[in-house]
Amino acid sequence: MSVPRSKCFVTFAGDVCPLPSSFLPAAAWEQELREDWNVKLALRLLHEHRLGHASAWAPFIASLPRTFQTARNMPDQMLQALQGMMRLAGAWLHAGASWVVLPGNGHERRVRRPRCSHRIHADA
């Protein structure tokens, strides 16, 4: 299967700025954001969202969630509970458990011990 690049919502290093200069100057895309593919992708998404129904990506954008939760906007109490669960899961896995079940919003999540025992050490 082959998908034309023009049909993919992606950015690549060295891409020419696909956004109009009224939205973002080409120099910012090519110099300041040169390595920031995630920011480039977010800017493309914002631009396409501003185009509304005129965007070829309107159906895709309409399917994206309107809200989501990250650690940055979690209440402190929820973040502390999550950190506690992750410490507990880490301790169980370190002690020899092959997997741990973590409770979540109405569903459970299994965390498996990595099968690879190799460790990467930084050079001193």
Q: Taking the domains of the chain in order of start, what are their residue ranges?
A: 5-63, 71-112
Give the per-residue pLDDT at 117: 45
Tens of pLDDT, residues 44-78: 999 999 999 999 999 989 998 888 777 777 788 88
Alpha helix ranges (H) inside 34-98: 37-51, 58-63, 76-94
Give the per-residue pLDDT at 109: 64
**Which of these, 69, 55, 48, 3, lies nearest to 40 by C-alpha position?**
48
CA angle at residue 31 from 34 to 21, to 5 degrees?
105
What stretches in the chain show pLDDT beneath 70? 89, 91-95, 97-124
Sign of the torsion formed by the C-alpha atoms of 66, 72, 73 and 78: positive
Question: Would you state the structure tokens that stand for residue 4, as one six-digit string?
Answer: 């034309």
Count other C-beta atoms under 10 Å from residue 71's C-beta: 9
Give the per-residue pLDDT at 118: 42
Sign of the torsion formed by the C-alpha atoms of 18, 24, 29 and 35: negative
Give the per-residue pLDDT at 108: 61
Terminal-to-terminal C-alpha distance of the chain: 46
